[in-house]
Each structure stands twice: as C-alpha cells, then as structure tokens.
Structure 1
Amino acid sequence: MTEQSPHKSADKAVEVEQPVIEQARLALLDIADSADHVGDFVGAWIVDSNVLDMRFVSALKGYEGWQWSITMYHDIQADKWTVNESSLVPTAGALLAPEWIPWKDRLLPSDISPTDVLGTEPDDERLEQGVSGGQASDSFRKTEVEEYTQIVEELNLSRSRVLSAEGRAQTAERWYNGPHGPKSLSTRVAAGKTCQTCGFFVQLQGELGTMFGVCANKWSQDDGRIVSLDHGCGEHSDIDPPEPSQLWIQPEPTVDDGDDIIIVSRPRVAQPTAEERRIADILEDVDNPDDLVDEE
C-alpha cells in the first residue's frame, strides 16, 4: 500500500522519468546503512523552481510511517539533476516520539529529593504580593491601621508573597482529589465517620481551612498530612476498637450417652499399724525368718 504524502495541498505532484528516480535512489543508498532500508518510490512534488522533493518508503525498523525525502535540482540548460539534500520525514501515520514538554511542566512532586532546589518564578500565578511586599499605607487613620494590622496578624499576611486566588484554587483541587480526599479507600472503611467530626482533626486557618485540616492521630496513615473535611479513616476518634478475636473456638462439652458406665467397687485395703511396720522392717533384715524364737 502506498503511503500518504505529508505534502501540503499547495505542493504539486509531477511525473518523473525513471532515470531520475534511479539517480535519487542511488543517492539514498549511499547514506542508508543497508539497501533494504530504502523502499519503493512514492512520488515527487514541486517545492520550488526546478526543485523536486522525491519520496521513498522507509524500511528502517522503528521508523514506521516515515519516508526518505531527497531534494533534487534540475539544471535545464545542462539537462542535469543534482542532489541538494536528503532526510527522513514523518507522514501522517508515522511513529513519533511524544511532544517535548519543558522539564518544569513534566516534573512531579514525587521526583523531588530533599537536596533539590527549584526556586519560584517572580511571576508565579500561584502567588501574589503580601503586605510586606509593598508600601505600607500611611493614609489610614489610626483606627483603620489598628484594624488592618489585626487582620494581617490573624491571617499571617505579613510576608512579601502570599497565595493568590489561583494558587489557593490549584492547591484545593490537588489536595481534594488526592489520596487524603473523600474518594480514598480509607473513607469508605470509616463508614461515614469523617475528619470534620474527629477529635484528632486540626483545622487550618484562612480560606483553605473551610475545606482542609491536619490529622494529629499517630495511629492513622494520614498523621501529619493535610486531609479534607469529608475524608475519613478507621482511626476516627468515635470509632470503637473491635472486639479481640479468640485464638480458637472452645466447643461445648458433650456426653456420650450411648455407652454404659460401669463402676467397679473394690474393698479398701487397711493401712498397716506402726507395730506391723516395725515387725516388717525386722523381717527384712533377717536372713531366715523361720529361725526366729519368741522370747517370753
């Protein structure tokens, strides 16, 4: 199947004599690693006065959908064709590398190590000028200055740069859609017990505090991390610990009624008296007990 040419519609296809095609093929064979890498002739297009772009199928592995492009110039007076340049060019269905993305746009937070220093651009859209970043207004009356100062201190705005509305929106979206938001597996395990009602939940200040806080439960996987109000986990302060399970199940005792129980009564053997034990000890020490004579 003939490959589609990537030429613009303004480029005009022309017929080319076979000797010119062979000349172009030989020129490509000089730069190709193998003769098998140059495939069939695709076509020729006029790109300038007496200049043609001639295309051949590329059979290079890894270059599916690419074509060999060789630019030929026709000297009409000398009736001679010469090679201007050659290259590999992709067609519409070519196998291409992904579009290049600047490193700062493709960098992920997980790629950062403790020793990396990225810095912040002066025009970062996530930040805006804080109170100390501009001139303090002397036009305020005393009462207005006091109120102004109180607000600045409460909201911790006395920095040269603070989060802008765009920065807060991006942060909220990232946190909410992350592993510590409402869509996590631990939230389903919590069975409706969310961080908003947990005793270990420490709420943030400012606008982000309406949606997020910090977990302070050392037994939770969220400990020390930002969590949303509707996030949850199995370590909620209102969840009772489960009953400890037994190591084994003790069965109920059973009585086998199928067999008769026979109790055999044996007479109790009388215990020897002290005198009888004394005589037995004497008899054990005598070689022939029959020689004993009672003394009166």
Structure 2
Amino acid sequence: MTKASENREQRVQRDKRAPRTHREDREQRGQRGQHGRRGRQQKKRGPGSARGRRSANPLLGRRAMGVAKQALLEAEPGHIGPYIGSQEIDEFSVVHRFASDIAGYEGWQWQVVVARAAGSTHITISEIALEPAPKGSALRAPEWVPWEQRLRPGDLRPGDIMPPAFNDERLTTNPAQAAVENTHIMATSRTAHSKAGTTASLDTAGTGRHYLSDKGLFQAQQRWREGENGPRSLFAKKARAFCAGCAFFIPLATPDLQHGAEFGVCTNALAFDAQVVHKQFGCGAHSEIAAVEVADIADNTPALPFDDERPIYVS
C-alpha cells in the first residue's frame, strides 16, 4: 500500500468517528420527519377515513357546502344560522344542515340536499326543506292516530256517518247473546228502519241485525255510574234527596229485571231533562224538596244579611 492510499484510508476512518455537524443532524431529522408525516397522512387519508371520503366525494367538500348555502340564501335570505354538518345519503347525494333563524322555529334546521351524476363533479340542488332537529326543543306534530281512535263523545254532528267498527265488541249479531231482548227490533226488518223515501237497506255489510252485547251494556253502566249523573258526583253528594224518590224519575226497567233497575231518565225540564241518571243521584230540583227544606229551616238559624257597601280594610 502506498503512502497516499494509506493517508486516504485514515481520513475515511477519522470522518466516521468524527461527530456530526448540526446541519447534518437537522437534515437527518427532517428526512425522518418527512417519512413520518407521509406515513401519517397516508394512514389518515385511507379509503375508509372521513378525510378520505371527503376527498373522494365532492359533495362532502367545502365547495358543496358553499353551493348549498348559496341556494339557501336565495330561497330564504336572512333566516340562516350557523352550519351544523352534513350527512351522506349515498355516493351521489348528501344533506347539508344549517341552523334556522326564523322566529317561532326554535330547534328547527335547514336541510339542503345536494347531488351529482355518476362520474361528474358538478353539484346540483335537489331539495331545500325546513325540518325539526332530531333532538332538541322543536315543536312536533303528534303521532298520527286512526280516526276511529280519535273519536270522542260529542264529535258526531248532523249528517255525519259513524258506523261501528267491524269487530265492535259492544255489538253482536246473535240474538241469543243479546244483553237486552228488544222484541220490536227482532220483529222489524232492517229496511223498515230506513229513512222515509229511501229504498236502500241499512244492512249493507250483510252481517244481519246487530244487538247490544253484554260487554256493551256493562261499559254503558260503568260510564253512567262514574259519570256526572252517577252516585259519586258532586251533585249527588250535595243533594237533599235521591232521584229514586223523585216524581220526575222514570226507571229504565222494573226492579225485578236484571238490567236497568238502578238507572232512569230525568223528566224535569229545569234539571237533567232527558238524561240518564242513577237512582242514587240527586239535585236541588227534587219533586219533594219543599218538604225537606221546611224541616231544615225550622232547625237552622237564619244567616245575617251581607252588607256589600261595608268597607274592607286590608293591612
């Protein structure tokens, strides 16, 4: 080995043992940082990440949000709040949501549906709607209820048609199961009860004559007992005498019959005229109230007259 080659080998070994300069350290650290950042970016922008979907679907980007807001400003200027977010319906349609700034619509939000054709980045507007937020204080319409479940006593008006339900448990077509034996109904045809001048039969369903079932009668008696004309009502509690001893009370049935013995119809025009009342119901218009009042007055001290002009001092 020549002397020149020996000196060159010694310099190489010395350079390997010599400490790195600050510049070399920064360069090496920068290379490692770039590799790390590229790796993290590739990991974040994978096809399954939110950023990856946003970059892949133009409807999720800022440009789509701007198009949605511009369309909303043209439709409803001055009633748009902050941007809330977006929801991807599918690859070709996305919903962008904005808060509503309309008085009386607290908790509502604007929904703008943007769309694009397959293979295109051109953004179009499909729909603009004002909808209540999924959660919040927005007023909502009640759940839809079928009409037969919405009906309440007093809803029927002249000319209205309100047929019984197909499976109405209050009725039966078997005369042997009838709660009350209505001989006049059994002996009369369906057509005979139709309005005068009409030829159509009322029996349009072909099920035959209906009769009140035991359950229908039981439900009616329960309503009458617990109603305003029942024995536990306020009128009954304050009554001087019961309806059973009133001349205006007409029983619905004789006491020896199974049904109707505890109810009757009031015939007093100044009281509960033409209403079904319980025999233990009562009111101040009882036919025998005069005799009762005379006895009470003899035992009670008359009340002092009230002076409506007397001043009242409040401390």
When normalised by structure 1's length, the TM-score is: 0.58
Query: Aligned Cα RMSD in Å?
Result: 3.8
Q: Say if 2:215 is the partner of 1:166.
A: yes
Question: Equivalent of 2:293, from 227, 231, 242?
Answer: 242
* SS of equivalent to 2:123: strand
Question: Paired residue for 1:155?
Answer: 181
| Distance (Å, rounded) in 2 between the aligned partners of 1:104 and 1:220 | 35
Single out whichever of 197-206 and 175-184 deviates more from structure 2. 197-206
Q: Which 5+ residue runs of structure 1 have no aligned equivalent?
A: 1-11, 132-147, 250-296
Cα-to-partner distance string for 1:145-168 (whole Å, 9 max, x where unaligned): xxx9xx99x832543221123322
Q: Comparing both structures, which one devotes a greater share of its residues to strand?
A: 1
- Contact 1:72 1:84 (8 Å CA) reproduced: yes
> 2-side partners of 1:49 and 1:19: how far apart?
16
How far off is 1:55 after superposition? 0.9
TM-fit CA distance, 1:51 = 2.5
CA contact (8 A) 1:220 1:233 kept: no
Find out whether 1:27 has 2:71 as its counterpart. yes
1:59–1:184 CA distance, 2 compared to 1 (3 A): same
**Matches of 1:181 and 1:99 in 2, distance apart?**
34
Q: Does 1:190 align with 2:232?
A: no
Equivalent residues of 1:194, 1:232 under 8 A apart: yes
Q: Do the aligned residues in 1 keep the contact of 2:251 with 2:260 (CA within 8 Å)?
A: yes
Match of 1:180 in 2: 229
- AA paired with 1:186? F
Q: CA deviation at 1:75?
A: 5.3
Give the number of the structure whose residues are more often helix, by fraction: 2
Q: Out of 51, 63, 70, which is 2:105 matched to?
A: 63
SS at the partner of 2:293?
coil
Number of the residue aligned with 1:137: none
Gaps of 5+ in 2: 1-49, 55-59, 187-208, 299-303, 305-315
Structure 2 counterpart of 1:204, one-letter code = L
Distance in 2 (alpha carbons) for counterparts of 1:22 and 1:85: 15
User: What are the superposed Cα offsets for residues 119-175 of structure 1, whole Å, 9 maximum, x if unpaired?
Assistant: 4236243221153xxxxxxxxxxxxxxxx9xx99x8325432211233223322332
Instruction: Tell me the secondary structure at the aligned position of residue 70 of structure 2.
Output: helix
Q: Does 1:120 align with 2:163?
A: yes
Contact 1:62-1:95 at 8 Å conserved across structures: no
Aligned AA (1:155): E
2: CA distance, partners of 1:50 / 1:120: 50
- One-letter code aligned to 2:274: G
Preserved contact between residue 29 and residue 38 of structure 1 (Cα < 8 Å): yes
Say if 1:77 and 1:104 are closer, same or farther in 2 by CA, change over 3 A. closer
- CA separation of 1:236 and 1:127: change in aligned 2, threshold 3 A: same
**In structure 1, what is the equivalent of residue 125 of structure 2?**
83
Larger Rg: 1
Partner of 1:209: 260
Looking at structure 2, the residues matched to 71 and 103 of structure 1 have their Cα atoms a distance apart, in angstroms, of 34
The structural deviation recorded for 1:87 is 1.6
Does structure 1 retain, via aligned residues, the 8 Å contact 2:244–2:279?
yes
1:211 deviates by: 4.1
| Contact preservation (8 Å) 1:73, 1:81 | yes
Higher relative contact order (CA 8 A, sep 6+): 1
Match of 1:162, as an amino acid? Y
Asked if structure 1 preserves the Cα contact closer than 8 Å seen for 2:156 and 2:162, the reply is no
- How many percent identity over aligned positions? 33
Distance of 1:29 and 1:72 partners within structure 2: 15
Match of 1:40 among 79, 82, 95: 82
Instruction: Give the Cα separation in 2 of the matches to 1:234 and 1:225.
Output: 16
Displacement of 1:25: 0.6
Aligned to 1:97: 141
TM-score normalised by L of structure 2: 0.55
| Shift of residue 42, structure 1, vs aligned partner | 0.7
Question: Given the alignment of the two structures, is residue 129 of structure 1 paired with residue 173 of structure 2, yes or no?
Answer: yes
Aligned residues: 214
| 1:3-27 CA distance string (max 9 Å, x none) | xxxxxxxxx9986433321211111
